[in-house]
Amino acid sequence: MQSFRSELEDLNNPVVARDIIDLEKKIRLFREGKIDDDKFRSLRLARGIYGQRQSGVQMIRIKLPLGRVSTKQLRTIANISDEYASKNLHATTRQDIQIHFVSLDRTPELWARLEKDDITTREACGNTVRNITASDLAGIDPKEPFDVSPHAYEMFRYFLRNPICQEMGRKFKISFSSSEDDSAFSFIHDLGFIPKIVDGKQGFKVMIGGGLGANPYLALVAYEFLESDQIIPFAEAVLRVFDRYGERNRRMKARFKFLLDDLGLEKTMALVEEERLAIKHKSYAIDLNVLPQSTSPVFRGVDPFIADQTKFERWRKTNVFEQKQKGFYGVYVKLPLGNMSSDLARTFADIVDQHASEELRITVNQGYLIRYVRPEALKSLYVALDQYALAEPGFDSVADVTACPGTESCALAISDSTHISLALEKVIREEFPDMIFNTDIKIKISGCPNSCGQHGLAAIGLHGSTIKDKSGKLLPALVVLLGGGNLKDGNAIIADKVGVKIPSKRGPDALRLILNDYEANAIDGEYFHDYYKRLGQKYFYAMLKPLGDLTTVTPTDYIDWGEDHNFILHTSVGECAGVIIDLVATLLYESEEKIGWANEAIQQKQYADSIYHSYNTFINTAKAMLLTRETKPSTQIQVLNDFQKEFGASGIFGAADFKEFVLRINKQEPSEEFAIAFLEDAKRFLAEVSAYRKQETTEKEAVAK
């Protein structure tokens, strides 16, 4: 505890320090059985603490906006992984870094250590605005109309700890692409931004309502062009609509894409427009200098001897490109599974410092981008990287497989997604070596249908599953999807399920069949998705169906990749608080907290924040009372409707006009006068409900006696 307190003393940001102290307090209350398990899960997830497949340990997700990480920060994360975790850094498809096997009780201290180097875990998981991703090329892309890095970073800062997006029905994802190539995949995000210049003004094509998961949706166009100063106000209005109307009870229907599908684009945009009056800023100018400019050391070394000149040339063709800044190159590092040991991370940071800018970018396919390499430093950089197997050619090619952690740590994973990806890369490397130059075909694997490995947008996608033989015995299996891809400028194709489920150990055979057929039957220059579309789903079903034949299974088919025993299906088990919790009391306690936050926000002249905290007090308190009537509304708007219906006739709490009374929130400018009045109304409502609840409880106890 002393170490934890001393770490906090070194922090310059009192808001962060208080946040960390609050986490430590909530962990203690949870251990004592005083916080409901579901509520505690929500709280810890919003602080980047995710329960692992293995009992009693946590995965910590470190939030790196834009995938931007300095060599100093990389060393810090490596050192922390040594002390608190498993000495491995895992780069994700959302440009985060994850560390694993962390004790829950040590997470506040770990978080404090990270924050000293301006690294956060806040809102890396949970029902929040997740890490805001961006093209790793941003700022150096020869095709970009302008650098989107400041825009993405300003949006990250704006929504971090913002009260409108702390307890939504589900997560919310935002991306910024650097050009019309759309390498940040705007089409699978809740909000995706593609930069444009119209009439000399910077702005964005705005995509809305995309998402993968078990039910993928392609995003719709909200605006062909929205000026830069409007993107944050628009995002805030969208989030307010999602918070109020989004599903909360049925988790599988709680993403924004389902709300958009239910309401339609026109009605959704009308609701967004209704929120405009109440948002903090009607215009929000982006500070284009919010991020420091990159620098690169002058290279004073000499050209080293390169033993394998062929490999060097292949690396240079596939992993190196000239930046828009003349005289500098970007260099990609292909990282199998996105994993790097903490020792290697420190060595890698040293190599980068000697040859390039200290600023790295994590890529959406789990690699790293080194920036601002001078041409005279390329050979030395290659040799230094190659010494540690970090100069493998074929970045972002068919040989660069993307995979989620799967059964290695995720509680939801069904079958292996990591070891098989290495087996598939081996097939490419040894049997199709020239395909490292093919950047059209992407192979992506997830351990379950939820698409953390992005299999839904792959040319060749696989996700974990199970299959039963005739005796009912389970085998680890793969579902095959084909034909997905990025068509650029917000357009894409979602991969089709071919209709074949095969034992996992036959994955390499499936890949061989597909690639051999592509080489034999694709028209010269034909993209994979066009080849797939031309031949059709039935063609590939017939091709792969024999691999699903279970009359020919062998003993090894019952063993998953990376295991030495027959397959065992894991089922996720929730954590247990150990005692029965009064959920109504918990909700009322949280309402008290929100009142405090609303009051603090007024003192800091953050009137819009205060108003939203007061609004959440109304929602939380009304929900508590509805629980006493066994009513569990699934959206905030339903909370208002149900409360008015349940209590309106009695006139209790002024319920007859309760919905209209609370929804003044989007009918008023966020002024000091309204913030104070709304807070007083929220306090009064909470006091009345608490008194009513106390009286009702007392009467029930008297009857029980």
549-606 pLDDT, tens digit per residue, is 999 999 999 999 999 899 988 755 433 222 333 578 878 888 999 999 999 999 999 9
What whole-number distance in Å separates Cα of residue 135 and Cα of residue 218? 19
- Phi, psi dihedral angles at 633 (to 5 degrees): -65, 150
What whole-number distance in Å separates Cα of residue 539 and Cα of residue 479? 16
Residues in the chain, overall count: 705
- Which of 595, 645, 500 is CA-nearest to residue 163? 595
pLDDT in tens, 233-278: 999 999 999 999 999 988 889 999 999 999 999 999 999 999 999 9
Name which residue leads in pLDDT, 10 or 548.
Answer: 548
What is the predicted pLDDT for the residue at 435?
95
What is the predicted pLDDT for the residue at 132?
98
What is the predicted pLDDT for the residue at 265?
98
Largest CA distance in the chain: 90
Q: What is the mean pLDDT of residues 39-49?
A: 90
pLDDT in tens, 442-457: 999 999 998 899 999 9
Q: Are 134 and 177 in contact (CB under 8 A)?
A: yes
- Laid out side by side, the sheet with 174-176 consists of 133-134, 174-176, 191-198, 201-208, 220-227
Which residue in this structure is represented by tokens 């029965």?
Answer: 580
Instruction: Round the CA-based radius of gyration of the chain to a whole number and report it.
Output: 27
What whole-number distance in Å separates Cα of residue 398 and Cα of residue 402? 10
Binning pLDDT at 50, 70 and 90, where does residue 704 land? low
What whole-number distance in Å separates Cα of residue 366 and Cα of residue 465? 23
Residue 670, token pair as written in the block: 């966020």
Strand partners, 553: none
What is the predicted pLDDT for the residue at 581?
39
Cα-based distances in Å from 14 to 8, 20, 115, 123: 9, 10, 12, 18
pLDDT in tens, 113-143: 999 999 999 999 999 999 999 999 999 999 9
Report percent pLDDT > 90 for the chain. Answer: 83
H helix count then E strand count, the chain: 21, 22
CB within 8 Å of 176: residues ≥ 6 apart? 66, 132, 133, 134, 135, 138, 148, 151, 152, 155, 184, 192, 193, 195
**First-last CA distance in the chain:** 45
Cα-based distances in Å from 631 to 62, 249, 541, 589, 623: 37, 12, 47, 19, 8
Q: Are 323 and 329 in contact (CB under 8 A)?
A: yes
DSSP code at position 468: E
* Helices 378-386 + 309-319 axis angle, to 10: 110
Q: Would you say residue 420 has pLDDT above 80? A: yes
pLDDT in tens, 625-658: 999 888 999 999 999 999 999 988 777 787 778 9
Binning pLDDT at 50, 70 and 90, where does residue 672 land? very high
Q: Would you say residue 367 has pLDDT above 50? A: yes
pLDDT in tens, 182-235: 999 999 999 999 999 999 999 999 999 999 988 899 999 999 999 999 999 999
Q: Identify the H or E element spanning 391.
A: none
Q: Is 242 helix (H, G, I), strand (E, B) or coil?
A: helix
Residue 489, token pair as written in the block: 């400028």
What whole-number distance in Å separates Cα of residue 374 and Cα of residue 320? 12
CB within 8 Å of 402: residues ≥ 6 apart? 93, 365, 366, 421, 442, 443, 444, 445, 453, 454, 458
Q: Identify the H or E element spanning 630.
A: none
Compute the mean pLDDT over every residue in the chain, rounded to the nearest whole number.
93
The domains located in the chain, with CATH, are 2-115 (3.90.480.20), 133-278 (3.30.413.10), 309-386 (3.30.70.3340), 402-558 (3.30.413.10), 583-704 (1.20.120.330)
Q: What is the DSSP string of 212-234?
A: -TTS-BPPEEEEEEEEGGGHHHH
What is the predicted pLDDT for the residue at 572?
54
Residue 437, token pair as written in the block: 């130059």
What is the predicted pLDDT for the residue at 354?
96
Q: Is 547 helix (H, G, I), strand (E, B) or coil?
A: helix
Residue 55, token pair as written in the block: 């009992």
Binning pLDDT at 50, 70 and 90, where does residue 545 land? very high
Residue type, 394: G
What whole-number distance in Å separates Cα of residue 400 and Cα of residue 303? 29
Residue 126: exposure state from Cβ atoms within 10 A (0-12, 13-18, ≥19): buried
What is the predicted pLDDT for the residue at 251?
84
Strand partners, 204: 195, 226
Q: pTM (2 decimals)?
A: 0.94
